[in-house]
Amino acid sequence: MLKEAKKALRVTHPIYDTEIANLLMAGASDLELAGVVLPGVVSFTIGTDDAVTDVSTLTDPLCQRAVITYAAARFGNPPNYAQIKASYDEQKAQLMHASGYTQYGDATEETDSGEDDSDDEG
């Protein structure tokens, strides 16, 4: 995912790889804190020279886009920060309310057992 993020940020030099990888990790953590389930394990492997060699195994394109948008809003000092931040906030909100992206998806099915709990004394 680092390669895709660098393209989105218009960055080619590897000097920013660690910073971008940290932003991607922060974006993934932000989504998880909001209750979004991320398909795949987000993992960062940093080599002995502090170059990021493997950024992520996050496979879902919607989650990838949200994480990259998070990084775009926080990398450097973008002149359109408010627009990028609003875009990320909207993507996060959509993921938080979409079935299949939260851990709360089947909560209603588990609480309704179909049995009548009323007292029949009488």
Residue with tokens 């195994």, as numbered in its chain: 57
What pLDDT sits at residue 56?
59
What are the two backbone dihedrals, phi and then psi, of residue 33, each rounded to the nearest 5 degrees? Answer: -60, -30
Query: What is the model's pLDDT at position 33?
Result: 86
Q: Write down the pLDDT at residue 101.
A: 87
Short-list 77, 110, 93, 75, CA closest to 30: 93
pLDDT recorded at residue 109: 44
pLDDT at 117: 53
pLDDT (tens digit, 9 = 90+) per residue, 27-59? 888 888 898 888 775 444 455 454 333 345 788
Contact 17, 52 (CB under 8 A): yes
pLDDT tens for 89-99 read 999 999 999 98
Mean pLDDT of the chain: 79
- At 111, the pLDDT band (50, 70, 90 cuts) reads very low
What does the angle CA 72 – CA 77 – CA 79 come to, to the nearest 5 degrees? 85
The Cα-based distances of 74 to 9, 23, 70, 81, 116 in angstroms read: 11, 7, 7, 8, 53
Predicted pLDDT at 37 = 83
Q: For residues 88 and 73, what is the distance between their CA atoms, to the nearest angstrom?
A: 8
